[in-house]
Amino acid sequence: MNYGFLIDNRKCIGCHACSTACKQENQVPLGVNRTWVKYVEKGSFPDTRRFFQVTRCNHCANPPCVRICPVTAMYQRTDGIVEFDPDVCIGCKACLQACPYDAIYMDPDTGTAAKCHFCSHRTDLGLEPACGVVCPTQAIVSGDLDDPSSTIRQLLGRHDVSVRKPEQGTLPKLFYIDADAVTLVPTMSSAAGGFQWADRDPAAAGPIALGGSQAGHMVQTGYNAQHRAPWHWPVPAYLVTKAIGSGAFILLAALALTGRVDDPVWATVASAVAALFTAITAGLLVADLDRPERFLRILTRPQWRSWLTRGAFILLGFGLVATANTALAGATWAGLVAADALGPLRAMLLAVGAALAVASAAYTAFLFGQAEGRDLWQSQLLPAHLVVQAVAAGSAALLVVDAIAVPLDVPFADAGLRAFGIAFWAMAIALVVDALLIFGGEFAMPHATREGAIAAREITHGRYRRHFWWGAIGLGHVVPLALVGVLWGMSSLPAEARLAGIAVAGAAAIVGLFCYEYAYVMAPQGVPNS
């Protein structure tokens, strides 16, 4: 068995009977849809035509939503149906980002993911899905794609058909006869003026207005389901706190393992910063779940293909190593342990911690890579970019700590003070490299898809341009680098002024990083996938 759907657009009259039947059969709450009919108007009056498109889960043969789910709540049955288990779902919303078709939603009643499941409770009894039964024109055909005698197989053999986003490689099994590109390609039409019967919800994700008379008047979306952005400020905040924690430990390990700095006070402070911000990162991730009480399922029933699962274990391991190193360095600082007594153990902790810190910084790039519904995130530069951002953020955080600790008379040895001086230059160099990656890679290179290009333009010239230019570039790069130049060139400045400059430079770099991550996370979610 290999179930699939066929929509005959020659017969569809846009009556929404399938949408209504789906809601009734599956008790779908108000405000969300498993099946809906998209309307697109094309042409100039009086030469216009309305196109309909029945839209739902594609039950892909290569489903990205299954790979990204950390707890196997989304899974593929042997008959090809992509099914979900609401009793297992933790509400991470990763599957919504992975779906290139906007077919998955968060159920407002249960806080779990949901979507079309081919009416599997009916299919298992040999019945058709409710949408196909109720369709008055028999425009919806379902059946076994592997059965040569099935109606769907015969129609596929006689007609040219189209699928949505074949370039994604998901191998969708929702086929359309006589489909038009204006319905298949979401970015070819705009709903900037609102829908036929309602205004577009400004809080929903997209569609982004493309501008120009072609998008605004010649092709207009008349009706569509509205999809809200799944991820909001906690995700950019998690990226920043994770960068601080991993970056602080990377710098600590690099200086200690190369013999540049060996000071127990500095090691305690840097390890504590790493452990603290890794704990905050975990807290943000749990708080962002729609079912946070189920968060331990990532550890107890992991789905190892998911980078959300892999990342959870990386963060857990890194947090434990950073905490252990904090305890060891603190014991050495307090004189409870001789500095040379646990030298091999300390070196091992630093080496393992450094590897986990780099993995902690970079793994989100691979998680974003599994979010196949967001083309801007499919960047080959992203792993290296996240590590550079971690070095900048970790160094910046340690500089803020330095500016706070010195007036409190924390007894740093010369080696510890030298470490903060290295952090000062590490932040500056990382910010320069970060700027080169932003302007020489992320936004200078042409994007492989239209969706990626639209999201990038939204960051640099659209809705998030202030976050990018004033926040990420101005506050996050220009201000700290200018302060670095002033502090370097004016060595005669009073100690209080130098500390204030260091604190401002570090804080500005961190706030600027949040502005960048906010724009980078939010902009692709505004590009329509349906």
User: Average pLDDT, stretch 79-84?
Assistant: 96
pLDDT in tens, 15-55: 999 999 999 999 999 989 999 999 988 888 778 888 999 99
pLDDT value of residue 376: 92
3.90.1170.30, 1.10.540.10, 1.20.1630.10, 1.10.760.10: which CATH number matches 234-525? 1.20.1630.10
- Whether residue 199 is predicted with pLDDT greater than 80 in this model: the reply is no
pLDDT value of residue 209: 41
| Tokens encoding 15 | 């009556």
Please state the length of the chain. 530
Q: For residue 129, is the peptide bond before it cis, meaning its omega torsion is within 30 degrees of 0?
A: no
pLDDT value of residue 210: 41
Pairing relationship of beta strands 74-76 and 47-55 according to DSSP bridges? unpaired
Percentages of the chain per state (helix, strand, coil), in multiples of 5:
55, 10, 35
Q: Enumerate helices (H) and strands (E) in the chain, giving the number of each.
A: 19, 13
Amino acid letter, 196: Q
pLDDT value of residue 413: 62
Residue 244's pLDDT band, with cuts at 50, 70 and 90, is very high
The share of the chain scoring above pLDDT 70, in percent, equals 92
| Residues 481 and 428 sit within 8 Å (Cβ to Cβ) | yes
| Tokens encoding 193 | 């003026």
Amino acid letter, 5: F
pLDDT value of residue 207: 41
pLDDT value of residue 201: 66
For residues 341 and 472, which has the higher predicted lDDT (pLDDT)? 472
Annotation: CATH topology of 3-228: Alpha-Beta Plaits (3.30.70)
pLDDT value of residue 341: 62
pLDDT in tens, 200-220: 666 565 444 443 334 445 788
pLDDT value of residue 259: 82
User: Average pLDDT, stretch 304-323?
Assistant: 97
pLDDT value of residue 142: 96
Residues 6+ apart with CB under 8 A from 82: 57, 59, 60, 63, 65, 66, 74, 75, 76, 115, 117
431 DSSP assignment: H
* Domain residue ranges of the chain, discontinuous segments joined by +: 3-228, 234-525
- Whether residue 388 is predicted with pLDDT greater than 80 in this model: the reply is yes
The share of the chain scoring above pLDDT 90, in percent, equals 70
φ/ψ of 341, rounded to 5, equals -65, -40
- Residue 101 to residue 164: CA distance in whole angstroms: 8
State the pTM of this model. 0.93
Q: What's the mean pLDDT when you consider all of the chain?
A: 90
pLDDT value of residue 216: 41
For residues 188 and 464, which has the higher predicted lDDT (pLDDT)? 464
pLDDT value of residue 339: 64
- Whether residue 148 is predicted with pLDDT greater than 60 in this model: the reply is yes
- Whether residue 343 is predicted with pLDDT greater than 80 in this model: the reply is no
- Residue 64 to residue 490: CA distance in whole angstroms: 55
- Residue 164 to residue 56: CA distance in whole angstroms: 11
pLDDT value of residue 202: 60
User: Average pLDDT, stretch 393-400?
Assistant: 95
| Tokens encoding 181 | 């590109």
- Residue 427 to residue 430: CA distance in whole angstroms: 5
